[in-house]
A and B are shown apart, each in its own frame.
Chain A
Amino acid sequence: MTQHAWIRSVVLVAIALLQAACRSGDSVSDAKMDTQMETEGIWQSTEEVEDSGAMGSLSDTKAFAVDGGKVTMMLLSFSKFRGISEDNCYRLDARWADSTLLYRLPNGAWEELAVWVDGHFEMKGSGMRRIFSKVQPEQVLEFYRPILKPGRAHYNYNP
């Protein structure tokens, strides 16, 4: 093999490896995007089953909305804190930790909301497993209707 042919082979192999790496990156990125799209929507508890392994306490949250990387949910405020919402509903930062969706409280702390399992969200605690299904706006329980309010501003963490 001439030196020219050898360099050409090396370059072709390098290009092939680069293309493969890009394709792999695309598929990971696509998968993430697909999951993200799948998680967006209005989620409401449709079933609760006993789960003896569910440790800790189960939150009372039975509906929430995910859109644009934010979570909209009901939070009670017992005191006269800065930025409290008149209807107890907040559009908050959200973040993933593996398959767990976290939301950022008005006080800045991150808290677990639900776990993504086989195409739906679940919450566990108090010996129970709460299963959420994606629902249409008209199916949302009255208590949680504020999460449907259009144009709700993102909570301002740094007023």
Chain B
Amino acid sequence: MKLSPNNLKENTHSGNAERESEEKGSAFLAPPQFSLTAAPAGNGDGPVQMKEGDKTHEGKVGSGTVTARENDYDPSDKTNNNFSLDYSGADSDDAHWLQFVNFTMYAEVPGGDPIYYTGDIATTSGKKPFSTDKVTNWSVDSASTSNPYYESGGSNQREPKKSTKIFDMPGGTSIEAFAAYLVSSKAPKATKVRFIAAFDTYLVQKDAATYHVTWKATTDYDPATKKSAAIDYDTTSGGAAKGLPKDFKDILDKSYPGNKIK
């Protein structure tokens, strides 16, 4: 089946992430008055074939179905190298996606151990710690400080009473500058830099996590050409969930105190 913008009932790339209006200090200068032309998160400039990606996982939950696809088409920016998760069911209006992420970047040096990017990195969602071979640092993958769901600011498509679907494209060209920095600052002899974003994405229905899919997105960067390869997705597992695991619940509560997600 080919998708076209016309058969999509609703496509909300931007959610309604509430903005924090708290002021930690005195006003500096004028409030924002300008606009940014948002760049599509695509990987290439050429024409894009509108096609559904390969189905890599499917499972029943309640009265609906969860489907994972790799290299799927996102109508919001017309790219087809996305990882998508879809819940289809008549009760989809009460369904949301809660995504946890950890990320690792390391340089491969001939004859030596991998050299990891360590410490915190400034991200669009605040300072976040890298994971390494010794420690895994999970965090909630949301663009909002008050709404933990991925679709609060992440690319998504919702059809009332039918489905809710999210699209992600972690890595790719967006990591090139950071990979180059790792090479120049810590690993000048590196022959490859690998970025791995690992996810555990939960379907939340009526405030309870009922299903989850784990997946990875790997991007290799070539220091010689200063270019990254295409994102390599891997859907690692999926199945029913009886609520969030305690460690994830703790992470969620720390970032979003007062949430009712179980």
Contact = CB atoms under 8 A, between A and B. Distances in A.
Interface of A: 57-61, 68-70, 73-88, 90, 93-98, 100, 102, 105-111, 126, 141-143, 146, 153-159
B232 to A, nearest CB: 16
B123 A75 contact: yes
B120 A60 contact: yes
Interface of B: 13-15, 17-41, 74, 82, 99, 101, 103, 119-127, 129, 141-145, 150, 153-155, 167-171, 173-175, 177-178, 180-181, 184, 197
Contact of B36 (A74, A75, A83, A146): A83
B28 A96 contact: yes
A-B pairs, top 9 by smallest CB distance, nearest first, are A69-B29, A97-B25, A86-B39, A154-B34, A108-B19, A81-B143, A143-B181, A82-B14, A156-B36
A78 to B, nearest CB: 5
30 contacts: A69-B29, A76-B124, A76-B178, A77-B123, A78-B101, A78-B103, A78-B125, A78-B197, A79-B101, A79-B168, A80-B74, A80-B167, A80-B170, A82-B17, A82-B38, A84-B174, A88-B178, A106-B125, A106-B143, A107-B145, A108-B145, A126-B119, A143-B180, A146-B177, A153-B35, A153-B36, A154-B33, A156-B36, A157-B32, A159-B36
Given A57-B129, A79-B168, A107-B145, A88 B177 contact: yes
Contact of A105 (B24, B124, B180): B124
A95 B126 contact: no
A84 B35 contact: no
Contact of A106 (B29, B41, B124): B124
Given A59-B122, A95-B23, A107-B17, 4 more contacts: A81-B124, A84-B124, A100-B25, A146-B177
Contacts of B99: 79
B36 A81 contact: no
B28 A69 contact: yes
Given A60-B122, A95-B27, A97-B26, A79 B145 contact: no
B120 A58 contact: yes
Nearest to B178: A76
A75 B175 CA distance: 10
